[in-house]
Structure 1
């Protein structure tokens, strides 16, 4: 049976979608069957990053009761990786019921080794419905104190809500002399540091090309860091949730 892992953060713009895409493809490269889910119902950027921008059926159609979840699953160009895209059409957004997300996403663990859920930032209803579709969560933050503390608060709430917080990713580290060091960030977050993703021009270039960096420039520092994150996730995913039951 597969694992359901939500990618969450306290602020927008931390790199959740980038992390979701690269982690999914890295896991696919390792031979796991993966489904990435765009559960950010208002922003819907994951499909663009993963190269599917013309999907006729999306998670919005499923949430509106107009399609089954199987009809919204697409094979990507990346080995072993599938995607459930979201719509960028506001008309679809207002018809979708985010409360249905956990019910439609959780059964996917019967079909995939990993289901990686790109969730909205924060603790609003749409974010909570998306994040609670998982059983485990990986937090993503940037090395700024306000971002770290906001994401720490999200982690506390999600843990109280019953999710197993696997740890956090410190993304875009090294872009400023005032960046919070990884050891200090880990002390504030009070959960394990899973990976430090460096500030790497290759990541931005890959985004402009509509391709995750682990595929675009697999030898870059950013790509190597995402591969290390995937390897760590395979070692710990499922363990904490089993202990918590």
Structure 2
């Protein structure tokens, strides 16, 4: 059965899209049949992060309105990762989609085992429809109070809609004394588990500049190891690092 996983945050800038893209790329790399959907209709970024050409037609917006098949909206990254971008036009985004997101995407179940959906942060309109299509939600946040408070709002919306929250992904973690401790983070976010801690890593920005997920562009960087470990956990596969990089990352402070 196909799993629909929504990646959600309460505010911009926490690394939600980067997380969705790198989970998708990691799963694709280990042989999972996965597609990443840019469900952020208003401010889409998935295709931009991956360097995919703009698609004024054959994108998620038109597929949802049944202008064409959902498969016609699929783009393929050079890594082999399948992506369904949203349209970049704000005017196209304004023409709302009134149906069920899950029903509209259901043909994808013929081909894919996992559908990763990068949700918007507005939590209204199409974002609510995206959340309603989820089998599970991953909350992406940073270990700082403003990000956590906004993430709590997103989490409460998921709870209100009875969508299971798999856990919290703490992104851009530096380990500095001024960052909130894990116990505080869990206390603010209703005691949901922290399922991954992605270290702050300059290679993330470098990979964004290269239009390639860090797990492919800098596969032995600290953040790449954390993303790949998270992806493995999501499908029950233990991530294995060779002994050389285990030693290197031990000195970097990455387990």
- TM-score scaled to structure 2, two decimals? 0.85
Aligned-residue CA RMSD in angstroms? 1.9
SS of residue paired to 1:166 = strand
Unpaired runs of at least 5, structure 2 = 238-255
Q: Deviations for 1:128-181, whole angstroms, at most 9, x for unmatched residues?
A: 112222111100011111211221232132123121110010011118642212
In the other structure, the counterpart of 2:168 is: 168
After superposition, residues 18-57 of structure 1 pair within 5 angstroms as 18-55=18-55, 56-57=57-58
Kindly tell me the number of residue pairs found equivalent between the two proteins: 235
Residues of 1 paired with 2:18 and 2:98: CA distance?
A: 22
1:239 alignment counterpart:
none
Q: 1:4·1:109 contact (CA, 8 Å) conserved in 2?
A: no
Residue 58 of structure 1 corresponds to: 59
Contact 2:71–2:108 (8 Å) recurs in 1:
no
Q: Residues 70 and 107 of structure 2 are in contact (CA less than 8 Å); yes or no, is this contact kept in structure 1?
A: no
Q: Which residue of 2 aligns with 1:242?
A: none
Residue 140 of structure 2 is matched in structure 1 by: 140
SS at match of 2:11: coil
Q: Which residue in the other structure is 2:105 paired with?
A: 105
Runs of 4+ in 1 over 6 A off after TM superposition: none
**Pair 85,226 (structure 1): closer, same or farther in 2 beyond 3 Å:** same
TM-score for the superposition, normalised by structure 1: 0.89
2:41 counterpart of 1:8: no
Look up the SS of the partner of 2:195 in the other structure: strand
Per-residue deviation, residues 195-231 of structure 1 (Å, max 9, x unmatched):
1111100001111111110011000001011001101
Matches of 1:218 and 1:193, distance apart in 2: 23
Alpha-carbon separation, structure 2, partners of 1:116 and 1:235: 16
Residue aligning to 2:221:
220
| Aligned position for 1:241 | none
In the TM superposition, residue 65 of structure 1 has moved relative to its aligned partner by 3.1
Any unmatched runs of 5+ in structure 1? Answer: 237-245
1:74 offset after TM fit, Å? 2.1
2:195 counterpart of 1:191: no
Work out whether residues 5 and 134 of structure 2, in 8 Å CA contact, stay in contact via their aligned partners in 1. yes
**Cα shift at 1:42:** 1.0
